[in-house]
Amino acid sequence: MPRGGALRRTRGPIPSKKRRRRSTRLPPAGSARGRSSRMADFGEPGTSGDISTEDRTTPLSAVGVGVAVLAVVLLGINLRLVFGSASSMLVEIRGTYQLGSGSAALLTTGPVLCLGVFALAATRAIRRWTVPAVLTGCLVLVLIGTVLRGLPWWLALVGGTLIAGVGIAVANVLGPVLIRLLFPHRIGLMTGLFTALISASAGIASGATPLLDARFLHNWRVTLALWAVPAVFAVAAMALVAWRRRRFVPIATSPASAGPRWQSDVLRSPVAWAITGFMGLQSLLAYSMIAWLPTIYRDRGLTAENAGLLLTALSISSIATALTVPILAARLRSQSVLAVAAAGLSVAGLTGVVAGGVGGAVGWAILLGLGQGAQLSLALTLMNLRARTAATATSLSAMAQSVGYLVAATGPLLSGALHSATGSWTATLAALLVLMIPLSVCGWIAGRDSTPGDRAESARTA
């Protein structure tokens, strides 16, 4: 056959049965493609893992970018307002209903328990509905629960808090997945922004709630219900994301996600369990501080406004590390040193709260905030960096947050019980200091450059 004919034949179309399938997995976090400056579409095919089954992309308009960023921002803001607003008014709530420290802790422990119990619902929900649609429903629950807290009954206060906690539980799991889905090439940056807003919202609510109550509203119930306003905007923004991306499909309809809800590779992975331990212990410290730091310093003589501002200082300082640590973590092969350094910041802050007086309270709160911002943002970033696909990221996020928050829920409750038993906050703070040792160990293991399934893959190829 003439050579020219051969050349013309090789330029013809490849038979369909031999065409290479387009990969639906995200590139590794450190790859050149993973560091691309291009911002993907809402669930861009070929980069969004198992969530999208589209076979072609559409450009993301400026409006689309704005809607996506706004949705992530408002989601992050609304995930901790319930916690911070209640903790700063615990003294007034205890006085109104004649509650002890243990009973009052139900308002801070209950939502954290919801975070653990209902986190597993996320994996089931996204098999039936799209991720933005599920998050819209979660924010509706937060809105309803926050409004109920303004009613003049103890059961309405507790019930509204728990309803909001259910919505926050599922949204916590799907927040990192949404970021991976909307911004697969900006995971570090957007996770940092998302985490910073989560951290800041608790402090803003804690500091602003006493001020609003004392200077304007003079009714703690109305003040707590007022925090439903941000939830209204969040529902609207997330609903717009869900509407703009009607072509999203639930994970269950994707052939690539036909595996079990809980992937066995994740359950058997030491790295996955290390991330879970790191997430749980850092959350235990964070929620213990959110619940009791204002009360600790009110017992030492600070006013309600000044004590609430300490939590604001903690949360605002956490923004610095929450924004920078994910970006740095995404550029490193191993994040173990980052995890241990973050734990060291918390150790320094806790030591100061134990040994220092009221005069240095702001400095110790800032150190605690820097540590907590670094720990939370690193935990959320690791859930994406250690996952090969979006489906694995969902399972890893659900596992880490379900088990982790069940561990964290014991923090405010046991802290309050230990204070009631000893009459002092020293024993509580000392116990939290001891927990920084296993936190560091879990962080070191979680930071290693490996993913769930590496061992199983090695065994299959051996």
Q: What is the pLDDT of residues 388-425, one digit of tens each?
A: 777 777 788 888 888 888 888 888 888 888 988 888 89
The pLDDT of residue 139 is: 96
Rounded percentage of the chain residues whose pLDDT exceeds 90:
29
Confidence at 31, pLDDT banded by 50, 70, 90: very low
Rounded percentage of the chain residues whose pLDDT exceeds 70:
79
Residue 351 has pLDDT above 60, yes or no: yes
Q: Whose structure tokens read 């949705």?
A: 71
Taken in order 277, 282, 287, 292, the sign of the CA dihedral is: positive
The pLDDT of residue 460 is: 43
Confidence at 453, pLDDT banded by 50, 70, 90: low
The upper half-sphere exposure of residue 59, i.e. CA atoms within 13 Å in the direction of its Cβ, equals 3
Confidence at 243, pLDDT banded by 50, 70, 90: confident
Residue 25 has pLDDT above 60, yes or no: no
Q: State how far the Cα of 123 lies from the Cα of 131, in Å rounded to an integer.
A: 10
Q: What is the homologous superfamily of the domain 62-250+260-453 according to CATH? A: MFS general substrate transporter like domains (1.20.1250.20)
56-95 in b/e form (b: 16+ CB < 10 A) is eeeebeeebeebbbbbbbbbbbbbbbbbbbbbbbbbbbbe
Look up the pTM and report it: 0.71
Identify the CA nearest to 413 among candidates 85, 102, 158: 102
Q: For helices 131-148 and 62-78, give the axis angle rounded to 10 degrees.
A: 40
| Residues making up the chain, counted from first to last | 462
The pLDDT of residue 62 is: 66
pLDDT, one tens digit per residue, over 247-300 is 454 544 444 444 444 456 788 888 999 999 999 999 999 888 877 888 898 888
DSSP 26: P
Which residues are CB-neighbours of 410 under 8 A, at least 6 positions away?
284
